[in-house]
A and B are shown apart, each in its own frame.
Chain A
Amino acid sequence: MTETLSFTDIEKGRIEEIKSLYPDKRSAAMPLLFVAQEKLGHITDSAIEWVSEEVGLSPVHVRELVTFYTMYYQKPVGKYHIQVCRTLSCALLGSKEITEYVHNRLGILSNEVSEDGNWSFEQVECLGSCGTAPMCEINDVYFENLTPEKIGEIMDAIEKEKPDLRYSTLKDKIGEGLANYPKSSNL
């Protein structure tokens, strides 16, 4: 991954499109931060400068957004970022066991990245999937009704298939996901 942002003509068109969706292009700061993160993996100084120039906000203002909103990463995360929900409904049904499993399997704790850079882990708050608890989100895809065995199988499958689990703001599209696992379970 490079430190500087460069875009193809198609991508530049998409960026202009995003800016035109709002009455004021300042509103595009959040989606453009997603664009930068998609390119760089996390939000760097140059990403902040680029967004601030695109939307006409000062860099310090854009930095405030990066520190306020948790979905912008201030340092690199793994290729697959596992976010286990820890809030009440998930906790009542065993989110702790899921977290333990991931800790033990990867040998990493919260907000750490595995040595090979493939995985990182984070405990997050309610993801709106409480009826299918416990659950986790890997990149941008939900995995629900988990057990330690099931998360184990999912991680095996990810290591084998290397699926795209990300929402691409540039392509305006969510990745194909993992075969055999729906993007959203029947609620």
Chain B
Amino acid sequence: MTTEHHKVLSANLDNENLHQLDTYISLGGFEAFKKALKMEPAQIIEEVKKSGLRGRGGACFPTGVKWSFMPTNSDKESYLINNADESEPGTYKDRLLMERNPMLVIEGMLIASLAMKAVHSFIYVRGEYAFPYERTKDAIKECYERGYLGKNIQGSNFSHEMTIHRGAGAYICGEETALMESLEGKKGQPRLKPPFPAGYGLYGKHTTINNCETLATVPWIIQNGGEAYSKIGVESCPGTHLMCISGHVNKPGIYEIDMGYPILDFIENEAGGIRNGNKLKAVVPGGSSTVVLTAEDCKGVNIDAESLKAAGSAMGSSAMIVMDDTTDMTEAVLNLSHFYSHESCGQCTPCREGGHWIEKIFARIAKCEGQETDLELIEKVCGQIGGHTICAFGDTMILPYLSIIEKFKDEFVAKIKKSNSSKSLLDRRALNFELGAH
């Protein structure tokens, strides 16, 4: 049994030519943009505020509110950036939009640019996404040729440039200030905030950064009204979203679902349940940087910002990684700790060094070479990372670590016990020395 969900983003995705302008227009594309052309910028922002749309990049920040931070009369230019760096493990929805419906992404960006009077917008696509990049780049080219981008768009007095830019393999460039640094031709290392991007962003100009999916949602809102959108899903977190699911389920993939849909129903109905008839063990609900939930935790929890927050976790980037009861959680957390230690940009010592040491400790626990004090040690190092770094990378990397240790402590303890009983004092001392924990 599957529940009917609204189709805001996935309505025409089965059309193979949707990426072409004519097909897109024949299915009602660019109607919302034409409507927005006749609206005042403030009116557009008001509509988006009314919709209750919250950013899909991870922080769930209200989009209309973010747009209203942009100055209305400034000598400096304004820019819009579409964050399509999509590197949070488990997440692959922006890729779908860029591959299958790039025109929708462009239309959303045009409406956002009208609202914020942005003269130039940028799409920052992760470097590995060669095909989505090509699709979207071709769509931009077609829009230029057909007067949907460039000077005096569709005969109006609105002119707009759009540039698509490829990253080169750095997770941190999804963090908005690192992204701007990268787009300026620098290493992607986050900036201190404040100043916030709306005041001092790309090349010091007023800048708003939104996630790709957030922007792709905007045309529907303008076409159907903010109020109509606000009625979908739940009041505190309205609308639909593209939910990615991967791991030990029968039907992994992307499903557009209404906000507020129960996690367990989603796993059972849309994702076809756990593979091989196994039991659910753990769920990473919102991309790897969120607090992990046990099967028990998931009961009664819905997929929306507030319900997941109440369960101690977060919506993050709408990416669920499901683990069944065959999963060794000491290995799972080791896998993630390798990711974070590899992807730290290296700017802040707690994150760069701490992340690296945590990986080493997780590695020795997983190999049954852990020390009795290891779990305490990890918690201590996590405490020294959280809140002590420039960007949120450090704060979020410790969430899966601490929650997995807390919720699956038995597995860690058992492995540590095994190592202590099988190793001589001398071996243990040597290991301790290697880790610098003497």
Q: Chain A: residues with CB nearer than 8 A to chain B?
A: 21-24, 26-31, 33-34, 55, 57, 61, 64-65, 68-72, 86-89, 91-93, 124-133, 137, 140-142, 167, 172-174, 183-184, 187
Contacts A130-B90, A187-B92 known; list 19 others, CB within 8 Å. A31-B165, A33-B168, A34-B166, A61-B186, A65-B187, A69-B127, A69-B169, A71-B127, A88-B336, A89-B247, A93-B248, A128-B129, A130-B91, A133-B246, A133-B247, A141-B131, A173-B134, A184-B99, A187-B95
Cα separation A79 to B335 with both chains bound (whole Å): 29
Does B191 touch A at the CB level, under 8 Å? no
CB-CB nearest in chain B for A145: B252
Q: What residues of chain A lie closer than 8 Å to B188, measured between beta carbons?
A: 68-69
User: Does B185 lie within 8 Å of A65, measured CB to CB?
Assistant: yes
User: Does A128 lie within 8 Å of B91, measured CB to CB?
Assistant: yes
CB-CB nearest in chain B for A27: B185
User: Does B339 lie within 8 Å of A126, measured CB to CB?
Assistant: yes
Does B61 touch A at the CB level, under 8 Å? no
User: Does A71 lie within 8 Å of B169, measured CB to CB?
Assistant: yes
User: Does B89 lie within 8 Å of A126, measured CB to CB?
Assistant: yes
Cα separation A22 to B171 with both chains bound (whole Å): 23
16 A-B interface contacts by CB (under 8 A): A23-B203, A26-B185, A27-B184, A61-B186, A68-B187, A91-B331, A126-B87, A126-B89, A129-B92, A130-B91, A130-B247, A140-B130, A142-B131, A172-B137, A187-B92, A187-B254
Q: What residues of chain B lie closer than 8 Å to A33, measured between beta carbons?
A: 168
Cα separation A57 to B186 with both chains bound (whole Å): 10
From B23-31, B319-327, B376-384, the one touching the partner chain is: B319-327
CB-CB nearest in chain B for A66: B168
Cα separation A79 to B87 with both chains bound (whole Å): 26
**Highest count of chain B CB atoms <10 Å: which of A65, A129, A183, A184:** A184
Q: What residues of chain A lie closer than 8 Å to B185, measured between beta carbons?
A: 24, 26-30, 55, 57, 65
Cα separation A33 to B184 with both chains bound (whole Å): 14
Q: What residues of chain B lie closer than 8 Å to A92, measured between beta carbons?
A: 247-248, 321, 323, 327, 332
User: Does A86 lie within 8 Å of B335, measured CB to CB?
Assistant: yes
Q: What residues of chain A lie closer than 8 Å to B131, measured between beta carbons?
A: 141-142, 174, 183-184
Q: What residues of chain A lie closer than 8 Å to B88, measured between beta carbons?
A: 126
- With A31-B166, A125-B339, A125-B342 already in contact, the answer to whether A130 and B321 are too (CB < 8 A) is yes
Does B297 touch A at the CB level, under 8 Å? no
Interface size on B, residues (CB 8 A): 64
Does B163 touch A at the CB level, under 8 Å? yes
CB-CB nearest in chain B for A91: B335
Q: How many A-B residue contacts, CB cutoff 8 Å?
A: 162
Cα separation A124 to B345 with both chains bound (whole Å): 16
Q: What residues of chain B lie closer than 8 Å to A31, measured between beta carbons?
A: 165-166
Cα separation A133 to B284 with both chains bound (whole Å): 16
- With A125-B342, A126-B90 already in contact, the answer to whether A30 and B252 are too (CB < 8 A) is no
Does B369 touch A at the CB level, under 8 Å? no
Q: Mark B231-259, 1 if CB is under 8 A from A, else 0.
A: 00000000000001111100011100000
Q: What residues of chain B lie closer than 8 Å to A86, measured between beta carbons?
A: 335, 338
- With A137-B128, A142-B131 already in contact, the answer to whether A131 and B253 are too (CB < 8 A) is yes
Cα separation A149 to B97 with both chains bound (whole Å): 31
User: Does B247 lie within 8 Å of A125, measured CB to CB?
Assistant: no
Does B52 touch A at the CB level, under 8 Å? no
Cα separation A140 to B131 with both chains bound (whole Å): 8
CB-CB nearest in chain A for B248: A92
Q: What residues of chain A lie closer than 8 Å to B183, measured between beta carbons?
A: 27
Taking the nearest CB of chain B, how far is it from the CB of A126, in angstroms?
Answer: 4
Q: What residues of chain A lie closer than 8 Å to B127, measured between beta carbons?
A: 69, 71
CB-CB nearest in chain B for A24: B203
